[in-house]
Amino acid sequence: MLYAILIHQPPGAVDHLTPEEQAALLADHRALQDEAKSRGTFVAATQLMEAYSATSVRRRGDKISIEEGPFAETKEMFIGLYILNCETLEEALEFSKRIPHADYGTIEVRPVEYHEDSAGPFAQ
Amino acid sequence: MRDAGEAVRAAYPQALATLTRVLGSLDAAGDALHVAVERALVRWPQEFPSNAVAWLVATARNHAIDQVRRQVVHDRFVNAEALAARPAPSADDGLAPHLRDDMLRLIFTCCHPRLSPDSQVSLTLRTVVGLTVHEIARAYLVSPSSMERRLTRARIALREAKIPYEVPTADELPSRLAAACAVVVSLFDQGYTYPADADHLRPELCNLAIRLARLLARMFPHDAEVAGMLALLLLQHARTAARTSADGAFVSLEDQDRSAWDQTMIREGRALIQRALFRDDLGPYQLQGAIAATHCAAATFEATAWGEIATLYGLLHDYRPTATVALNRCVAVAKAQGAAAGLAELEALPAEHLSRLELQHRYFAVRGHLLEELGQIALAREAFAEAAALRPGPVEREYLEAKLRALRSQ
């Protein structure tokens, strides 16, 4: 089963960390990715730029609007995701508990309905 | 173990913003928060609160109520009761519903156009960013006592101007937001512009400005100009490491080692500018950001899309009809279409631009370069001599004098 592990956190939640702490946070992610790769569960990892860089597209009837900004201003913003191929939900949750952003926001684990591997620019 | 000092510092601006609303003035909030911070530094190492902001607000608020009760025996006792009757911020949800508005009030109060530019910037650093007086003094290369005086003057000005602690109304918002952006950009420029009286840049001011720009971008994610302002700062700061040589001298854009540019900042800045250009809802910050993005996109100085830069300066001139913008456009035209075209543009500059004395040396320096390129050495020499006579900064003077020596030997 594929699981999407969606990382949400309040904007700026890690801003107060020192550069060393920021680097440690990234290193934690790298270590998690390496572990998932060696277990064979790793499918994809993506980090998004901040929500203010978003462009929102809506079509209503034949009218298309394109606006600056995210679709909604919420307390926690979607900042990135992992896709893992796990045997069980438990395995995906074990991984999620160790994501450093769990300290600052919420990690949402959702089963994937459909995934196509494009082997695009981010393929490892 | 988390560091109590770090945690206090991270929670300070939000706590101050909320307290200013609850207690009704920045002064009262600052005093009460001071007490709460001292208690936190003692208490937190033993027991960390689950919500640092809420802890500081509750402690400071209780202290303020005690103070009012102690000071006022009878008639104003009512005030303390009224204060106590206001809904206490709940301890569990980080004050989220109020927080955005509280921070906005704080920003718009500190960046009020009725305060002097200096006051706006130092008040913003103290209250919105939560820096200590020592930190701001260090960043500005002044003594803590003179920074304290500057802040005191700013607080008095705030009181005397009777600036209300509120979010501007919808029709006021664009101009007030522009004023807040101007504070952020001026803070950035103070760190980024090569100072005449000091020999180094102050990247910590640039980092602070970018922190503030992000804060504004998060609060106004639908505002194209706020995003453009953030992009402009990122695309300039990305080049900081390459602007100073190993021996501390200024390195011009032409001679910079482009591999030393910060690609993470450039990626974010260019993403914001691409959206701006697509949306075509332009403004001065987006245009300046687009100019910076065009420079950052070029693999070499020669490969810069000068025609595009000339067009962007032309558009920018509609918003900012300044001598600098006009002069930069002439330089870009010269790069794109040759020295003769650039010189023609330069000679067509409106007279009011030339009366700005502080830019005249640059005008004559650009003129000298273009004439030299066209082989008109005698005229070029004249222009460089005029530029050198106009008392430029030490770095430029040295450059101009070297140029004159070289031309004399031709």
Report, as an integer, the average pLDDT of B77-98.
Answer: 44
**CA B188 to each of CA B28, B135, B295, B378: distance values in angstroms, whole numbers, following the listed order:** 30, 16, 19, 40
CATH of the domain at A32: 3.30.70.1060
Residue B213 CB partners (closer than 8 Å, separation 6+): B181, B184, B188, B226, B229, B230, B233
Q: Is B167 left (phi over 0), alpha (psi -120 to 50) or beta?
A: beta
Residue B408 lies in a domain: yes
Beta strands in B93-222 (DSSP E): none
- Of the three residues B246, B273, B298, the one that is the final residue of a domain is B298
- Of the three residues B269, B298, B327, the one that is the final residue of a domain is B298
- Do B244 and B291 share a domain, yes or no? yes
Asked which of A86-100, B63-77, B188-202, B368-382 is least confident by mean pLDDT, the reply is B63-77
Residue A62 lies in a domain: yes
Report, as an integer, the average pLDDT of A30-42.
Answer: 96
Report, as an integer, the average pLDDT of B200-216.
Answer: 84
Residue B219 lies in a domain: yes
Task: Select from B9, B94, B217 the Cβ nearest to the Cβ of A52.
Answer: B217
pTM of the predicted protein model? 0.79
Residue B87 lies in a domain: yes
Residue A119 lies in a domain: no
- Do B376 and B393 share a domain, yes or no? yes
Q: What is the pLDDT of residue A35?
A: 96
Report, as an integer, the average pLDDT of B174-191.
Answer: 87
Shortest distance between the Cα of B275 and any Cα of chain A, in A, equals 7
Work out the pLDDT band at B200, boundaries 50, 70, 90: low
Q: What is the pLDDT of residue B195?
A: 57
Q: What is the pLDDT of residue B93?
A: 37
- Is pLDDT at B97 greater than 60 in this prediction? no
- Is pLDDT at A51 greater than 80 in this prediction? yes
Please state, in angstroms and rounded to a whole number, the distance separating the CA atoms of residues A67 and A63. 13
Residue found under tokens 């990382």:
A7
The range of the structural domain enclosing residue A19 comes to 2-111
The range of the structural domain enclosing residue B85 comes to 4-96
CATH of the domain at B321: 1.25.40.10
Residues of B in contact with A15 (CB under 8 A): 211, 214
- Is pLDDT at B256 greater than 80 in this prediction? yes
Residue A120 lies in a domain: no
More confident residue, B195 or B246: B246
Beta strands in A21-123 (DSSP E): 42-47, 55-60, 63-68, 77-85, 106-111
- Is B221 in the A-facing interface, judged by CB distances under 8 Å? yes
Residue A116 lies in a domain: no
Work out the pLDDT band at B181, boundaries 50, 70, 90: very high
Shortest distance between the Cα of B222 and any Cα of chain A, in A, equals 5
Predicted ipTM beyond 0.90: no
- Do B322 and B408 share a domain, yes or no? yes
- Are A68 and B217 inside 8 Å of each other by CB? no
What amino acid occupies position B290? A
Q: For residue range B120-157, list pLDDT tens digits in order.
A: 888 888 887 777 888 778 777 778 898 888 888 888 88
> DSSP 3-state assignment of A77?
strand
Q: Is the sign of the CA dihedral A28, A33, A38, A41 positive or negative?
A: positive
Tokens representing B403 are 């140029």
Residue B82 lies in a domain: yes
- Are A16 and B6 inside 8 Å of each other by CB? yes
Domain count, chain B: 3
Residue A67 CB partners (closer than 8 Å, separation 6+): A55, A56, A58, B222
- Do B292 and B320 share a domain, yes or no? no
| First-residue to last-residue Cα distance in chain A | 20
Mean pLDDT of chain B: 83
Domain count, chain A: 1
